[in-house]
Amino acid sequence: MLAVLALAVPWRAARAQIDAPRRLDAGRFTVVFYPADERLASSLLHRAVHADSFPGLPRPRQRVLLAIAPNKMTFREWTGPDAPEWGGAITFPDQRRIVMQGHRASSDAGDPVEVLRHELAHLALHEYLGDLPPRWFDEGYASYAAREWTREDVLTTNVGLLLHGMPSFAQLDTWFSEGSSTAETAYALAYRAVVELASLDPSAGLSKFFANWKARGTMDAAVRATYGITLDGFEKLWQQQTRRRYGALALVGDVAVGGLVLLVVILPLYVLKRQRDRRRMAALVAADEAADRAARLSAIEELLRIDRGDEPPDPGSPPRPGPGRAGAP
């Protein structure tokens, strides 16, 4: 018994050492992970170090801690109860910390390289501008920096939103916490807004805008100084451009879906009508063939009568009595 216990204690210690969290450091990044996520951690660290600049911003300098959760339960423990259920990663700017799901994450968590780039953009923006950016710009810029072009796919099928109900920037801020489908639309619209803003100055992009924002302290003043329009004017421009750009695509998609529904409803009725027409045509053809047969028999009878030498009946004379029928003398 003592021998068994003596063997069990070293085994448990070795097992605990194998399952213990590990750490990698490179550049300004530290990654903490469990052994099962070692390959993922190494890949993410390599990408972070070699792509450590963000559009319009000076190169970040603050250190960043990336914690990779081994499972969903641990991810919830590390992020807290306020994290959305559909989130693949959460950033804590004040702590300069990112918590991500590991290799066991579902496909809903997204591409881990793209997700990390998105979260690092949040930290870079916060390092330069602090708490100045509103939520919609923060999320839109992170998607813009991570080149999340597929965000716009959500807009190509949202007919009601683009044709009837584009939100304001203030309303857009509240959409990020209203469920996964509404949040996806909010991310797409915020991304579209930042792309639209950057397109106003193709040569400088967002760099002059960020410098003016930091110097003047408000977004409206920065938009005025950089692009010569008010923030309200840019909001209306963004609404019009987004509706014009994606409204027709959404409508075409909606018409295609409606056409499919009509096809499902109308096709059975069309098939029944064709079957009924075929039966009616077959009946008409059968009637014509019967009439033809009757006409041919009548012609044959007439030929036989002529061959017998019978005279044709007088139309004005009474009919002759047939065999077995009594008639007047």
- Is this prediction's pTM over 0.85? no
Could you report the per-residue pLDDT of 202-229, keeping only the tens digit for each? 999 999 999 999 999 999 999 999 999 9
Could you report the per-residue pLDDT of 3-26, keeping only the tens digit for each? 434 444 454 544 545 578 999 999
Six-digit token string for 166: 């584009």
| Residue carrying the six token digits 């930091």 | 214
The runs of H, that is alpha helices, within 146-230 are 159-164, 169-175, 180-199, 207-216, 219-227
- Asked if 107 contacts 96 with a C-beta cutoff of 8 angstroms, the reply is no
Six-digit token string for 170: 């203030």
- Asked if 56 contacts 69 with a C-beta cutoff of 8 angstroms, the reply is no
pLDDT over 80 at 325, yes or no: no
pLDDT over 80 at 248, yes or no: no
CATH 3.30.2010 maps onto the chain at 18-113
Q: Which residue has the higher pLDDT, 219 or 251?
A: 219
* 89-92 sheet: strands from edge to edge: 22-26, 29-33, 64-69, 97-101, 89-92
Please state which architecture CATH assigns to domain 18-113: 2-Layer Sandwich (3.30)
